[in-house]
Structure 1
Amino acid sequence: MTNLKPVAAQKAEPGGSSPLAAYPLLRSLALYRTIPVLFTATFALFCVIHLSLALQQWLVGRALDAVNSGKAATRLADGTIDFSVAWHWTALLVGLAAGRGVLQYISGMCSIRASQALLSTLRERILVQVQTLHLGYHWQHGMGEMITRTTRDADKLRDALVAFWRQTVETALVVTAAMGLLFWYDPLLGLVPFLLTLLGFWIFVRQTDTLVVLDRNVSDAYDQVNQDLSEGIGGVRVIKSFRLEQGRIRKFRGHVGFFLDQSRHALAWCSSRIPIPQAVVALGHVWIMGYGAHLVAAGKLGVGELVSALLIATTLVFRVETVGRVMRIFADARASAARIWDLLDQQPAIVGGSEALPEGALGFRLDAVRLLAPGGETAILDDCSMILEPGRIVALVGATGSGKSSLAALLPRLADVSGGAVSIGSEAIGWHDVRGLDLSGLRRRVHVVPQDIFLFSDTLAANLRAAAPEADDSALVEALRLAGAGELLERLPDGLETRIGDRGVTLSGGQRQRLCLARALLAAPDILVLDDATSALDAVTERTVLRNIRALRAAHGGPMTVLLITSKLSSVLLADRSAVLANGRIAAAGRHEDLLLDPLYRDLLGIDRAAA
């Protein structure tokens, strides 16, 4: 038997060991590696567009100087006016503006394509990670939190990655070009606006930490809204059955109100703080106007150059205003990026091995299995041992909360033992510890039909083919017949192509159970665990289904092994043997007739002593 250390006992290495772990927004920039061509093209376009801005403003100053000096339009000897210079400057400025406009359109389209590509990549990674993580992580984190990270947080991070161009590339290029032109006119003319711009950016940076805290508060409040909404939709039957509508509405209204309060607080803080850096940078206008007028009077600066300098100062103010909006996006995205990377950095607690199960009929064996509840304090199973030989049907009974479903989850490694071992195989082909087996191969051959029935909001055929994507229609019909759902197919308006609604809401409980059974039988697993999966079936249908299962051969040629977790006497009577789970271990096992002497067994099945 393979002796492996339980994966659950291994200490997961935090994904935050990366040098950039403390900077989740910077880590996110690595996503641009997925679109290298688009990234390079967009970067080049931004460089050309914003470096040409200084050229455009310099040409405006030169054109104004030509007008001021009378060179733009000259009177000829015959009395006519020569506008050739004026037309020259006009054509040059219009051509440059038109060229920049075309490039801005192209860069905008590239930026949009890049943003959508980044968002698709990000959401795909989140979905893959969510599907990879063990069930314990999903139990600890609600559906609302997962939805928030996939939607709102991903959108905010996408916006920040796109705004990255306007924050780092555009701003750096615009400030460099503008300051370079001012310093070229006169070093002192550019020094004061430069210092004021640095001061404005420093104030923005100082405000970022507060913005991050505010956005985290808003995100947490939004999680509550999403969680409450998910529960309200998923539990609509319970809500209606117990007439809880008004209470749920009040609770949801409270969560929405708290979210709005947090959003208003964040918005009010931003509205009162963000304009401060803009006012600081705008003081550069005063300096350029005063000192620039002095230079014009001294003949060191032309009027057109002064106008150009003022245009540059206006550009800086608008740039800082844009930076203010983008900084808030960045602050929001820092919190969102941290939440996303916290999810993406989670190490799967269950990792498959490389061993493949040999061909042949399979059973399973539990050797002194110990399983702890989430948190690692209470033992669900303790020193639990059991053997189920291939081809047998064994009924497992136990009190509510005794750990029957937890035991079932160990076989396909939906959960891992804290001690002992779970093995798959037989005496003929040997026993193989599930921790050394390839997960995909293991779960193809060991299938659990859980007590919480789930059907996708899709067609009947698509739900069945989840177990066997290549199955043809005749195989689907046969699986429905084996599960006692043949007449259901005849009642559906569009047959196999009938859409069955969200989680099978259009079907009864018994119909949903039979469809889930049909889906499991279509996969023809070697080991089938029915975790209270026949509770909604009547005795006749249940007997028919179990008889069909007993006659069914597994995909690998051997008889199908069935663990029937149940509390129904009618189900137990159809099994070869029975086992009793109590106090975390198998307390008794044997034929039904022999176990009737056990008072616990009789109590669990509701059999009085006289009847026994």
Structure 2
Amino acid sequence: MIRQYRTELPAKHRQDWQTVRLLLPYLWAFRGRIGLALLFMVAAKLANIGVPLALKAIIDDLDSSHLPETVMTLPLALLVTYGSLRLATSLFNELRSIVFAVASQSVIRVVSLKVFEHLQQLSIRFHLNRKVGGVARDMERGTRSIGQMLRMLIFSIVPTLFEILTVTGILLYQYRPAFALITLTAMLCYFALTYAVMNWRLKFRIRMNEMESMASTSAMDSLINFETVKYFGNEANELHRYHHYLRQWETAAVKSQWSLALLNIGQGIIIAIGLTWILILAAQGVVQGELSLGDFVLINGFMIQLYIPLNFLGSVFRELSHSMTDMERMFELLDEEPEIKDAEDAIDLPAGPASVRFEQVSFHYQAERPILQNISFEIPIGHTLAIVGHSGSGKSTLPRLLFRFYDTSAGTIKISGHDIRTLRLHSLRRSIGIVPQDTVLFNDSIEYNIRYGRPTASPEEIIAAAKDAHLDEFIEQLPEGYQTIVGERGLKVSGGERQRIAIARTLLKNPAILVMDEATSSLDSRTERGIQGALQQVTSKHTSLIIAHRLSTIVDADLILVLDHGQIIEQGRHQDLLEQGGVYAELWKIQHRKESGKNEQ
């Protein structure tokens, strides 16, 4: 059984130059350092090209000198020049590395922050449709590939191209055109072959990326659901699923490798033919007296300086192609438009107490499956409204609409008279606090998770919030107290303790509007009774929306709505609904009998 994951983004393959163009604004911000690195690169290459020229002069001078004093003066100066050029080459290369490192790492940091910020702004629908492991892998590969691409451009491709043009110009100026023509022809054949084969091999890299993301997602999903795997004894199935993606990755990787071998063979043939041809011409020139021995050494030195980098340039182009593919997937994340975003004329929600109003609100995830239909209600400032209903009635969709994770399909939601679509998202969500049904905590300390409600809170305020949530006694029993790590998703603490941390976090936020989405569903009756007084005290100070599982927690609500299949079928206060003898009364009887049975036991 293989579960399919949608980790890949829509296929919108762009040309490499388009990918680089997207990176240019980030590079432009550090143009000074990048420009300085390029200057050091040019200086290093000029010094490197000067080495064979100095060696030619030394050999020619030694070959033509007969007087001892001449040998001790001119060649000595040339030898010092030769050594100085070698030193200058190394020095300028290292200066280039130092200057470029700062620019490269800064670009990676800025792009990483940009992508992460964009992911935070994308709608909840995007994140529900994607697997975290795949998206994280695409982001990691993309940001890493930026550094690789910049290093290859600054340290390999640009220097090699500069050296090719400079050497070709020197050959054309000093010697017969045939030397420059052969050099250029060999280079053009080399680059044409490399470009053609790299484009052909690109599909293998894309497939490798897809399968690597699938494998990463599969492993992460299995480890996150570790207990579920153990409950059902499905370790073998998880291993088979992971192996399935690894095998497909392996197949693509093997094809990529043998296609690379073919490319290397072709490149080697071109280099060998070009180098041999030029050296034959140079040797003929020496024999015929057209060239000196120093000229032969110079031409040979130039060819070695050109062709040795070309041996590595093939792998550089391969890695550059891979980097472009990885960067493209990362930039496709930036192409995703946020489904929910601020209007151009959005305003901040005024601070202070707030009312909530739903006006004929309807919502659906899919057009053929409505979740809410014509929901209307109002929660005045300081009042409490409770929502009850069977599972799947649409109760938990209401907070998502209130937070504007989704926009309504029809109707309007207003806070203090303002349509929430006219409010800035940060301002809107800052004014609402929620204790969700399923609390997920950060893999950090209890203090960090409580402080998350208001990062600027003092230690005293954190302790006060923990006491209000009846969490302080539990924390005091822990050896590390508030610094206790709660584990991945908070799994090191019980469900009830996670819920109390969530309550403390929301109390610390102190929002104008409080949402309790079955906030006590994970608590035992004793713990629930212990914090019920605190919850009632808190809700009395806020405009509160309570989605209730246990009806005993909402008997004091100002208004209770009963939902069924996305519609309000009953509404009123607790006693009124009991007297009506409808769905609410039936739910109350069922829960009352269960509670009575537990008490008798």
Whether the TM-score (by the shorter chain) exceeds 0.5 is yes
Q: Which residue of 2 aligns with 1:5?
A: none
Taking structure 1 as reference, are residues 535 and 469 closer, same or farther at Cα in structure 2, changes over 3 Å only? Answer: same
Tell me, yes or no, if structure 1 residue 391 matches structure 2 residue 377.
Answer: no
2:422 counterpart letter in structure 1 = G
Q: Does the residue aligned with 1:467 lie in a helix, a strand or coil?
A: coil
- CA drift at 1:142: 0.9
Which of these residues, 189, 196, 209, is aligned with residue 199 of structure 2?
209
For residues 57 and 296 of structure 1, the distance between their equivalents in structure 2, rounded to whole angstroms, comes to 17
Partner of 2:6: none
Alpha-carbon separation, structure 1, partners of 2:63 and 2:160? 32
Q: Distance in 1 between matches of 2:64 and 2:47?
A: 26
Out of 258-267 and 592-601, give the one that drifted further: 592-601
Question: Where does residue 50 of structure 2 map in the other structure?
Answer: 55
Letter of the 1:149 partner, please give it: D
**2:267 equivalent to 1:277:** yes
1:299-330, Cα deviation, whole Å (9 max, x unpaired): 22212111211222222222222221111112
- Native 8 Å contact 1:211 1:332 kept in 2: no
Given that 1:546 and 1:574 are in contact with CA atoms closer than 8 Å, whether structure 2 keeps it comes out as no
Q: Are 1:113 and 2:105 an aligned pair?
A: no
> In the alignment, which residue of structure 1 is the partner of 2:404?
413
Q: 2:315 aligns with which of 318, 325, 336?
A: 325
1:606 shift after superposition: 6.5
Aligned-pair CA distance for 1:51: 2.5
2:393 aligned to which of 372, 380, 402: 402
**Aligned counterparts, 1:456-475, within 5 A:** 456-475=442-461
* Pairwise CA distance, 1:560: 0.7
- CA RMSD for the aligned pairs? 2.5
Deviations 1:573-597 (A, max 9, x none): 3534321222222222112233344
Which of 497, 502, 513 pairs up with 1:516?
502
**In structure 2, how many angstroms separate the alpha carbons of the residues matched to 1:357 and 1:518?**
24
Of the candidates 18, 27, 44, which is equivalent to residue 23 of structure 1?
18
The structure-2 alpha-carbon separation of the partners of 1:168 and 1:376, relative to structure 1 and needing over 3 Å to count, comes to farther
User: Of residues 443, 452, 455 in structure 1, which corresponds to 2:438?
Assistant: 452
Matched AA of 2:451: R
Q: Find the aligned partners of 2:123 and 2:191 in 1 and give their Cα distance.
A: 44
Partner residue in 2 for 1:6: none
Counting only pairs closer than 5 Å after superposition, residues 162-241 of structure 1 correspond to structure 2 as 162-184=151-173, 185-241=175-231
Superposition pairs for residues 311-460 of structure 1, below 5 Å? 311-353=301-343, 354-373=346-365, 376-425=367-416, 431-460=417-446
Amino acid at match of 1:332: H
Contact 2:550 2:591 in 1 (8 A): no
In proportion to residue count, which structure has more helix? 2
The alpha-carbon deviation at position 137 of structure 1 amounts to: 0.8
Q: Any conservation in 2 of the 1:200–1:278 contact (CA below 8 Å)?
A: no
Instruction: Provide the C-alpha distance between the structure 2 equivalents of 1:66 and 1:385, rounded to a whole number of angstroms.
Output: 99
Q: Deviations over 1:396-432 (max 9, x none)?
A: 122323322221111121221122111112xxxxx11
Q: How does 1:554-593 map to 2 (within 5 A)?
A: 559-593=541-575
Same amino acid, percent of matched pairs? 25
1:386 to partner: Cα distance: 2.0
> Within 5 A, what are the aligned runs for 1:76-87?
82-87=71-76
Q: Which of 24, 33, 43 does residue 28 from structure 2 map onto?
A: 33
* Separation in structure 1 between the aligned mates of residue 16 and residue 353 of structure 2, nearest angstrom: 48
Task: Write the distance in 2 (CA, Å) between the matches of 1:21 and 1:269.
Answer: 20
In structure 1, distance between residues paired with 2:43 and 2:233: 64
The answer on whether the counterparts of 1:390 and 1:559 sit within 8 Å (CA) in structure 2 is: no
Instruction: Return the offset for 1:176.
Output: 0.9
Q: Which residue of 1 aligns with 2:80?
A: 91
Structure 2 gap ranges (5+): 1-9, 597-601
Distance in 2 between residues matched to 1:271 and 1:116, nearest whole Å: 33
For 1:471-486, what aligned pairs fall within 5 Å after superposition?
A: 471-486=457-472
* 1:595 lines up with 2:560 in the alignment: no
Q: Is the 8 A contact 1:292 1:306 kept in 2?
A: yes
Quote the Cα distance in structure 1 between the aligned partners of 2:593 and 2:517. 30
Q: Which one is further off, 337-346 or 599-608?
A: 599-608
- Is the aligned partner of 1:159 residue 2:148? yes
Q: 1:58 to 1:291 in 2, by over 3 A?
A: same
Partner AA of 1:411 in structure 2: L
In structure 2, relative to structure 1, the CA distance for the partners of 1:210 and 1:82 (3 Å cut) is closer
What is residue 599 of structure 2 aligned with on the other side? none
Ranges in structure 1 where 5+ consecutive residues have no aligned partner: 1-13, 426-430
On the 8 A contact 2:454/2:508 being kept in 1, the answer is yes
Q: Is the 8 A contact 1:361 1:526 kept in 2?
A: yes
Q: How big is each residue's C-alpha offset from its partner over 1:535-573, in whole Å with a ceiling of 9 and x where there is no partner?
A: 1112343244342233238xxxx9212212122233333
Give how far 1:92 is off: 1.1
**Alignment coverage as a number of residue pairs:** 580
1:367 touches 1:385 (CA, 8 Å); kept in 2?
Answer: yes
Deviations 1:54-110 (A, max 9, x none): 222222222222222236xx336xxxx953333222211111101111111222233
The alpha-carbon deviation at position 231 of structure 1 amounts to: 0.9
| Aligned-partner Cα distance in 1 for 2:459–2:265 | 66
* DSSP 3-state at the match of 1:581: strand
Q: Is the 8 A contact 2:157 2:313 kept in 1?
A: no
Give TM-score, length-normalised by structure 2.
0.90
Secondary structure in 2 aligned to 1:191? helix
Amino acid of the structure 1 residue aligned with 2:363: L
**Distance in 1, Cα, partners of 2:124 & 2:423:** 19
| Contact preservation (8 Å) 2:445, 2:484 | yes
Matches within 5 A, 1:478-517: 478-517=464-503
